[in-house]
Structure 1
Amino acid sequence: MKPKLLLLSRPECELCEELEFALFTQFSATTFELERADVDSRPEWKTRYGLKIPVLLTAAGEVLCSTRFDAEAVADFLKNPG
């Protein structure tokens, strides 16, 4: 089973697009599943992450990246997603 990641962003967010591009450039899409969600779609996300997007989360809600792509954090997670 592939690890699941959640990308919180907003429509037309250039930083969000850059993070997603870097993620797929650095790592094969076959190594994880990526779900995308609008940070404003849930009040708790908007409050917690609204000023920090893009935010890349694990399925457990752990923040891997916030505002900038962190290849090392993602690599560490993908090596040991449990």
Structure 2
Amino acid sequence: MSTVFYYRNGCHLCEELAAVLFRGWPEQAERIDWRDVDADSAWREEYGLRVPVLLADDELVCELRPDLQRLSRYFGDPVNSL
């Protein structure tokens, strides 16, 4: 599975979703392609106002806030309580 996380440095919502990923699904979080939207103009245009955005195989998993049901659907049950 290809998983991409679009974020912005200093974004508290991005930090919140990243923390949920690393706590609940640490192995999957290590394999995520982390992309700072400010590093690429196309990413900034597409996702800049929507970060954080998590895609799995190009399908939207989460946008703005963690969606624990969708995360579990894609990654399985979390290994730690959330």
TM-score of the two chains, using structure 2 as the length reference: 0.75
CA distance in 1, matches of 2:21, 2:38: 22
| Structure 2 residue 67 is matched with structure 1 residue 70 | yes
Structure 2: which 5+ residue stretches go unaligned? Answer: 77-82
Q: Deviations over 1:14-56 (max 9, x none)?
A: 11111100112222x2245122111133333222221110001
Give the match for residue 27 of structure 2: 30
TM-score of the two chains, using structure 1 as the length reference: 0.75
Corresponding residue pairs, total = 75
SS of match in other structure, 1:53: coil
CA distance in 1, matches of 2:6, 2:66: 13
C-alpha RMSD of matched pairs (Å):
1.7
Give the match for residue 52 of structure 2: 54
- After superposition, the Cα gap between the structure-2 partners of 1:43 and 1:31, relative to the gap in structure 1 and judged at 3 Å, is closer
After superposing the two structures, state which structure 1 stretch, 61-70 or 34-43, moved more. 34-43
Give the match for residue 15 of structure 1: 13
Structure 1: which 5+ residue stretches go unaligned? Answer: none
